[in-house]
Amino acid sequence: MVQTMTLREQIAALIKTGLEQVQAAGDLPAFEVPDFIPIAPSRHDSHGDYGSPVCMGLARVLHKAPIQIAKAVAAHIPQAEFVEQVEVAPPGYINVKFSADWLARQVPVVLAAGECWGNITLGQGERIQVEFVSANPTGPITIGSARNAVLGDTLASVFEAAGYDVTREYYVNDAGSKVRNFGASILSRYANLLGVDMPFPEKGYPGDYVTVLAQELVDARGPHYLELDSDAAVRELAVWGIDRMLEGVQDDLAQLRVSFDTWRHEKSLYAEGIFDEMMQKLRESGYVVEHDDAVWFRSDDLEKDAVLIRSPQVIPDPEDRPTYLASDIAYVWDKLTLRGFDKAVYIWGADHHGDVPRVQSAARAIGLDVERLVFVLYQLVTLRRGGEEVRMSKSSGEFVTLRELVDEVGPDPIRFMMLTRTVDVKLDFDLDLAVEQSDRNPVYYVQYAHTRIAGVLRKAEEEGLDPFVTGDPALLTHPSELALIRKMVALPDIIALSAENLAPHHLTTYASELAALFHVFYHECRIISLDEGDVELTKARLMLVRAAKVVLARVLHLMGMDAPERM
């Protein structure tokens, strides 16, 4: 069950019709109907459920008071099943109030939709690729990447719900000098373990995990790699090490309930000739210049040129060739042309914001529509322990791994905390607070609502009632029941909002509000009553809480969280 129009869109359509009809009827002079009609949920009950200030904007063109325009328009807004009343409020709002009957009747609709509740057709099957995490495979996943992982995965889920055909991809940076340093780091540790002195590379990776890898090698292969030519050994060990790290990355992310459809290796862009194809294109169209022992990408929409590749001669082995921008351009070409995605979404830390114009400009240079590139830049995570900031970097060898954190607090609190804030704000991750399992942690508030419903349904069964009864929705008339349903029917709009604005944090706000309305309802209305006169009401309310449970589970699952039956 997929909704083709969200409530917001339906209301916009009604008002649009009103705007057209009022002119056709000659009640207002001719004017151009705006293609975007602002509609927002009302913040006060006296304003109905949704309101639109569209007539305020028309006051100037029509030289009339907004309230008069609103009245004239409102008179031409057609009837709709879900609308009880269209009201005009000063200074010129058009407010729409939902019909209570209609709201109650949405309960079985939600139940019928089940885990599909909230799905919309916004994306119209467009193929969208979300590339995220893509951390260098030269070490384990850190907490810094956790925000990326959660944002990317959740956004991908939101896109799926919004009707896109989604691919989750991890880009493996397995070419270039970092990889060589990684291999050399392993070799040096390996040699040391075997009692052979070998200097540690200047830009090597000092973390303990490298020594662990080296030990593994010693155990498995003995001194084999010392017998090889050291270049060959480094090369072999780099490939082996990266494979080993990727296994760990995949595993760690799985613990956070993040997984990928595809893993694209940077090296394969060279092996498949995509890199050469792209360079060829750029050369032909004159975007490439060579000077100072480097190849530059030159474009009028960049203030400065950007380094494409460090050495002008095309060296066959990408590991010997620090490439800067070039791989990224080949990769865009791969995404949008060779593999035919309609859109490519990049989830990047704000420290990469400088790369955005370069990639955009390069995409334009190879003839791609920049609108197809979507960048989500999030502010970085700072980690606190005991009130003190923990600096992290793989090259310093000091960091807190995702694995450690997940083992300690579980995936749900991490996911919720990473999602709560907008991407624009820096995230302070307080390890002490994350560990704390108390009501200071809003995660449990939402999950508890789900658990409570599960408890009620179990209780119903114990009392000999059928928890899956179909009741009469018309009996659901209590204000707290209707408030809960109002929130339930808003989910499709929340999904649209999150997808359009690349803002998955709306899900956490929504989940908390939904849970709050359930808790209020729970206090004000007894669900299971064994009184003879309450038989029908009990059925109706069991049906309502079951639907509420469906919506809570849906939004929790969209966020990649568990919807527990017990806590």
Assess 260 for contact with RNA (CB under 7 A). Answer: no
How far apart are alpha carbons 50 and 65 in whole angstroms? 22
Q: Which is nearer to RNA, 269 or 495 (CB)?
A: 495
- Please answer whether residues 210 and 242 qualify as being in contact, where contact means their C-beta atoms are separated by less than 8 angstroms: no
How far apart are alpha carbons 267 and 142 in whole angstroms? 24
Q: Which is nearer to RNA, 234 or 329 (CB)?
A: 329
Q: Which is nearer to RNA, 210 or 563 (CB)?
A: 563
Type of residue found at 66: P
- Within 8 A by CB and 6+ apart from 279, the residues are 288, 314, 326
Q: Which of 424, 432, 436, 472 lies at the binding interface for RNA (CB under 7 A)?
A: 424
Assess 435 for contact with RNA (CB under 7 A). Answer: no
Q: Which is nearer to RNA, 91 or 223 (CB)?
A: 91
Assess 34 for contact with RNA (CB under 7 A). Answer: no
* DSSP secondary structure, 456-501, as one string: HHHHHHHTT--TT----GGG---HHHHHHHHHHTTHHHHHHHHHHT
- Please answer whether residues 71 and 27 qualify as being in contact, where contact means their C-beta atoms are separated by less than 8 angstroms: no
Assess 442 for contact with RNA (CB under 7 A). Answer: yes
Which span sits near RNA by CB under 7 A: 142-150, 273-281, 288-296, 470-478?
288-296
Find the radius of gyration of the CA atoms of the chain: 29
Which span sits near RNA by CB under 7 A: 144-152, 229-237, 329-337, 438-446?
438-446
* 103 closest CA partner among 392, 478, 485: 485
Assess 437 for contact with RNA (CB under 7 A). Answer: yes
Query: Site residues for RNA, window 511-550 (CB under 7 A)?
Result: 512, 516, 519-520, 522-523, 525-528
Number of residues that bind RNA (CB under 7 A): 76
Which span sits near RNA by CB under 7 A: 315-323, 400-408, 422-430, 471-479?
422-430
Assess 421 for contact with RNA (CB under 7 A). Answer: yes
Query: Site residues for RNA, window 156-215 (CB under 7 A)?
Result: none
Q: Which residues of 528-557 are buried (b: 16+ CB within 10 A; e: fewer)?
A: beeeeeeeebbbbbbbbbbbbbbbbbbbbe
Query: Site residues for RNA, window 371-410 (CB under 7 A)?
Result: 377, 379-380
Q: Please tell me whether residue 172 adopts helix, strand or coil conformation.
A: strand
Q: Which is nearer to RNA, 89 or 239 (CB)?
A: 89
Q: Which of 79, 197, 304, 531 lies at the binding interface for RNA (CB under 7 A)?
A: 304
Assess 322 for contact with RNA (CB under 7 A). Answer: no
DSSP state of 562: -
* DSSP secondary structure, 178-209, as one string: HHHHHHHHHHHHHHHHTT---PPPTT----HH
Assess 56 for contact with RNA (CB under 7 A). Answer: yes
Assess 63 for contact with RNA (CB under 7 A). Answer: no
How far apart are alpha carbons 537 and 524 in whole angstroms? 14
**What Cα–Cα distance (Å) separates residue 561 from each residue in 250, 255, 411, 444?**
18, 12, 7, 11
Query: Site residues for RNA, window 455-484 (CB under 7 A)?
Result: 455-456, 458-459
Q: Which of 451, 489, 551, 552 lies at the binding interface for RNA (CB under 7 A)?
A: 451
Site mask for RNA (CB under 7 A), range 338-377, x = bound: ------------xx-xx----------------------x
Assess 444 for contact with RNA (CB under 7 A). Answer: yes
The answer to whether the peptide bond before residue 91 is cis (omega within 30 degrees of 0) is yes
- Cβ neighbour number for residue 455 with a 10 Å cutoff: 14
Which span sits near RNA by CB under 7 A: 52-60, 135-143, 267-275, 550-558?
52-60
Q: Which is nearer to RNA, 35 or 523 (CB)?
A: 523
Q: Which is nearer to RNA, 115 or 424 (CB)?
A: 424
Q: Which is nearer to RNA, 92 or 140 (CB)?
A: 92
Which span sits near RNA by CB under 7 A: 51-59, 152-160, 337-345, 360-368?
51-59
Q: Sort 81 into a burial class: Cβ within 10 Å, 0-12 / 13-18 / 19+.
A: exposed
Which span sits near RNA by CB under 7 A: 50-58, 212-220, 224-232, 468-476?
50-58
**Residue 108: what are its φ and ψ, rounded to 5°?**
-60, -30
- Per-residue H/E/C for 10-40: HHHHHHHHHHHHHHHCCCCCCCCCCCCCCCE
Query: Site residues for RNA, window 79-98 (CB under 7 A)?
Result: 89, 91, 93, 95
Q: Which is nearer to RNA, 221 or 426 (CB)?
A: 426
